[in-house]
A and B are shown apart, each in its own frame.
Chain A
């Protein structure tokens, strides 16, 4: 890894910054799957700016490209063309390892399907990102316990995903995403598999993280009730931004 990127990715730098400075800047971002005649353009040129501390919902019909957008923003996938600046870092120029480090130090991801390690206790799942940061056992344990307490699961530390309900599993996933104190949290339909009561709990947790800790939250959903929690709403249609509105 070039030393320049390493210094750019220091946790201090990634956690710092002023609330109003642009966190994410997208310029003509495209993503094409497949080649030749079979090619399918999921993103056709997205321009979007997101500032620190915002809570943004991304909406749109199925197949509109909103999940693809989330994956590219979360560095789980790579754009085909266009520019993506994260805190001034040109993400499209990073290699796989550098993207891994960006995810490790700056990004948190929550999935519709939770994606917890099976047969692994909630505590160990939450400790995992800290392990890759080379944190000591004691520190890992403290931070993971604190994160699980923050999402309301202080009594489920030793339960494995199989022993937890969907809502509880999603809370473990949120704890895992926030335990590294990321600057941005990406949530791809986090409540898609949950009932309305649990959904409200999860949204409350996300809102609290945004308000109390200043974590920027980007959430994909197609549930109007869920979308109502956010001030800013971006609608994607056919791989393009259809509307971008901020409620007062």
Chain B
């Protein structure tokens, strides 16, 4: 009987391909849209999360000047000294690591290629604080800092711009007036909220101060990088740092801070909640598209069953039982729903894979959403294919036959 119903169902599907196509299309759109939306949304969320974690999660950066980003306000404000960094490190227990930083914008030249770069002078702990890892070569050491060697480590963007396909390790580049040996290449971090992190050249602080910057204020630093001990309350840490720095900079109680503290954890939290919002929004949109898909399937199924009540009447009149007619409709609905669901999943995954390359987010296969989308569409398809057919099959054959 099942085989019989299957034969009849397949024959019926083949007989009205337009109707079959529309049914499959409704299911296909529902399945494909939700899978595409959720998969790409998750990819984007993952990409944002990866970039946030590449910044370092408990990192504080001290800069002179009243506010972050207001470059003008740092003019005339005294910069920090290496001693400031040492004092903070000594006095605050919740500081895990601290690195003095001096930056300078200088032109860099290798053979014919020249470009303006931001040069960071610091100590080796800086790599750890900012979560830099090495791709090739070596990082500079405390010994390099003490001796002020003319060595530097470059980011991937600099490598591409200056060296192209050439191996940069061991090459000598010209930075400002001095020449400097490239000893290491940093692993790429990518774009973060604040520009290209890979566009960087890092060298020992002493080398930058002695070789690249003039004698005046050569011991000043213009940034202090701090990583906090895991689990530290960053607001308390910021308060402690503020207190010490105000003392060291002789600020009166009526004076505003002439330095600012940039907390990546706060940024991460902000970005994190934004991402979460984005994910929720995507889930809502996906939910609506699933609902719309479901209504589409429902419509086609309802219309086709109404249209087919007459057919049900004919089948009953020539001796089919209600359960045989229903089995046929059930097999038809299951077959069409499965075809639509499988095609939807395949096309959605292909689409996601392609789009993920284009918009540069990771392609993340989520089994759960594929199963949910498939199950939802299949259930809607079967439910709305089967329920009206059940009503029609319960009619007296003559009443079903009157539907034209």
Contacts and interface: CB of A to CB of B under 8 A. Distances in A.
Interface residues of A, number: 30
Contact of A131 (B4, B314, B398, B401): B4
A129 B8 CA distance: 12
B319 interface: yes
Tell me what chain B mostly uses at the interface: helix, strand, loop, or mixed.
helix
B397 A97 contact: no
Contact of A104 (B15, B310, B318, B394): B318
B323 interface: yes
Contacts of B323: 97
Which of A74, A96, A104, A133 has the largest number of chain B CB atoms within 10 A?
A96
Interface residues of B, number: 27
Interface in A99-156: 100-101, 103-105, 107, 109, 111, 115-117, 119-120, 124, 128-129, 131-134
B398 A100 contact: no
A78 interface: yes
Given A115-B401, A119-B15, A131-B4, A76 B396 contact: yes
B319 A117 contact: no
A176 B315 CA distance: 12
B311 to A, nearest CB: 6
B396 A115 contact: no
A71 B400 CA distance: 13
B324 interface: yes
A77 B396 contact: yes
B4 A117 contact: no
A131 B319 contact: no
Nearest to A135: B4
Contact of B15 (A71, A101, A107, A120): A120
A101 B8 CA distance: 18
B319 A180 contact: yes
Which of A76, A105, A176 has the largest number of chain B CB atoms within 10 A?
A76
A176 B319 CA distance: 11
Nearest to B398: A76
Given A76-B396, A124-B11, A96 B320 contact: no
B321 interface: yes
Given A76-B397, A77-B396, A120-B15, A101 B318 contact: no
A134 to B, nearest CB: 6
B319 A105 contact: yes
Contact of B322 (A74, A96, A128, A134): A96
Interface in B312-359: 313-324
Contacts of B394: 96
Interface in A56-85: 71, 74-78
Interface in A175-190: 176, 180
B318 A109 contact: yes
Nearest to B397: A76
Contacts of B316: 100, 103
B396 A129 contact: no
A116 B398 CA distance: 14
A132 B396 contact: no
A96 B8 CA distance: 21
Interface in B75-115: none
Interface string A82-97: 0000000000000011
A128 B312 CA distance: 13
A132 B398 contact: no
A81 B11 CA distance: 40
B396 A103 contact: no
B368 interface: no
B332 to A, nearest CB: 14
Interface in B1-46: 1, 4, 7-8, 11, 15-16
Which of A100, A119, A176 has the largest number of chain B CB atoms within 10 A?
A100
Contacts of B321: 96-97, 100-101
9 contacts: A71-B398, A74-B317, A76-B401, A97-B321, A120-B15, A124-B11, A131-B8, A132-B319, A180-B319
Given A104-B318, A124-B11, 19 more contacts: A76-B317, A76-B396, A77-B398, A96-B321, A97-B322, A100-B320, A100-B322, A103-B317, A104-B319, A107-B319, A115-B313, A115-B317, A117-B311, A120-B15, A129-B319, A132-B4, A132-B315, A133-B319, A134-B1
Interface of A: 71, 74-78, 96-97, 100-101, 103-105, 107, 109, 111, 115-117, 119-120, 124, 128-129, 131-134, 176, 180
What 4 A-B pairs have minimum CB-CB distances, sorted nearest first? A104-B319, A76-B398, A100-B321, A103-B319
